[in-house]
């Protein structure tokens, strides 16, 4: 039996509030580390290392607050769309946890780099990004047709079989991209962004779209969604 919409809904107001509060956890950790942090904390890194610093109070309070505000806007605007799309609960759970997790990792790296000389900022960020990409690739084939997440092309939206096949292929591409990001981050973290950018465009964007088009060309079937 299909559960009522109210039971299937993941992005509830309670969960939105919990997600926003989770974005502020780095502030609590920053307060605990306040005396150990330098007065000026690096918040941006270039090819040659840190190139922008801000007062630690601003970093501890303002950055998580900005993330919490962004999280609130994304979730509130996404709530009606996710609910009406009748997709898997995974999409809602992903949206609820994505920004808090990213914010937590980034802030821990900022704190660690400020307190430890030679802290491998770039490598850690690339490894975290690679792991997230691999998780997304593993979950992508489980997502049903929707207008928010997945390999969304005119061909996948018109044919359920194309959607399934293309997202399975896209999931494999995302896992491969995640492994590549981790490898590049470990080999040459200061210049890895060039390879990450090129490979992401190729593996995560162009190849799945090309696969979807090719699948539609080989299986010239009318839309099953319309037949049903």
Q: Which tens digit of pLDDT belongs to each residue from 3-55?
A: 444 445 777 889 999 999 999 999 999 999 999 999 998 877 766 666 778 89
Residue 192 CB contacts under 8 Å (≥ 6 apart), including other chains: 122, 126, 181, 184, 185
Specify the pLDDT at position 223: 46
- In whole angstroms, what is the distance from residue 38 CA to residue 59 CA? 11
- 3 state SS of 127: helix
Phi and psi for 204 in degrees, rounded to 5? Answer: -95, -25
With 0-12 / 13-18 / 19 or more C-beta atoms within 10 angstroms meaning exposed / middle / buried, residue 40 is middle
Residue 107 CB contacts under 8 Å (≥ 6 apart), including other chains: 26, 29, 30, 63, 64
- In whole angstroms, what is the distance from residue 99 CA to residue 70 CA? 8
Q: Which tens digit of pLDDT belongs to each residue from 59-80?
A: 999 999 999 999 999 888 877 7
Q: Is the pTM of this model over 0.85?
A: no
Tokens standing for residue 96: 């609820």
3-state secondary structure 74-116: HHHHHHHHHHHHCCCHHHHHHHHHHHHHHHHHHHHHHHHHHHC
Of the candidates 84, 64, 105, the residue with the CA atom closest to the CA atom of residue 11: 84
Specify the pLDDT at position 164: 93
Are 131 and 182 in contact by the 8 Å Cβ rule? The answer is: yes
Residue 227 CB contacts under 8 Å (≥ 6 apart), including other chains: none
- In whole angstroms, what is the distance from residue 127 CA to residue 124 CA? 5
- In whole angstroms, what is the distance from residue 225 CA to residue 223 CA? 5
Percent helix, percent strand, percent coil in the chain, to nearest 5: 75, 5, 20
For residue 182, pLDDT over 60 is answered with yes
Q: Spell out where the chain has E strands.
A: 40-46, 49-55
Q: Considering only 2-6, 102-106, 179-183, which range has the smallest mean pLDDT?
A: 2-6
Dihedral class, residue 192 (left if φ above 0, else alpha if ψ from -120 to 50, else beta): alpha
Q: Which tens digit of pLDDT belongs to each residue from 130-174?
A: 998 998 888 888 887 777 778 989 999 899 999 999 999 999 999
Are 156 and 166 in contact by the 8 Å Cβ rule? The answer is: yes
């Amino acid at each position: 039996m299909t559960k009522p919409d109210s039971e299937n809904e993941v992005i509830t107001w309670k969960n939105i509030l919990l997600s926003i509060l989770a974005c502020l956890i780095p502030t609590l950790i920053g307060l605990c580390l306040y005396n150990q942090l330098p007065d000026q904390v690096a918040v941006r890194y270039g090819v040659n290392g840190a190139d922008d610093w801000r007062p630690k109070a601003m970093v501890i309070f303002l950055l998580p607050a900005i993330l919490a505000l962004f999280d609130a806007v994304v979730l509130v605007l996404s709530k009606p769309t996710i609910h009406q799309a009748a997709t898997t609960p995974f999409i809602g759970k992903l949206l609820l946890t994505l920004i808090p997790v990213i914010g937590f990792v980034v802030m821990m790296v900022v704190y660690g780099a400020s307190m430890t000389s030679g802290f491998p900022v770039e490598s850690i960020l690339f490894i975290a990004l690679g792991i997230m990409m691999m998780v997304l690739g593993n979950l992508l084939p489980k997502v049903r047709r929707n207008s928010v997440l997945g390999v969304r092309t005119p061909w996948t939206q018109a044919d359920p079989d194309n959607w399934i096949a293309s997202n399975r292929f896209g999931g494999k591409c995302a896992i491969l991209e995640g492994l590549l990001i981790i490898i590049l981050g470990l080999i040459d973290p200061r210049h890895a962004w060039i390879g990450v950018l090129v490979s992401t465009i190729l593996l995560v964007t162009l190849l799945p779209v090309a696969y979807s088009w090719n699948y539609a060309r080989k299986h010239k079937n009318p839309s099953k969604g319309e037949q049903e």
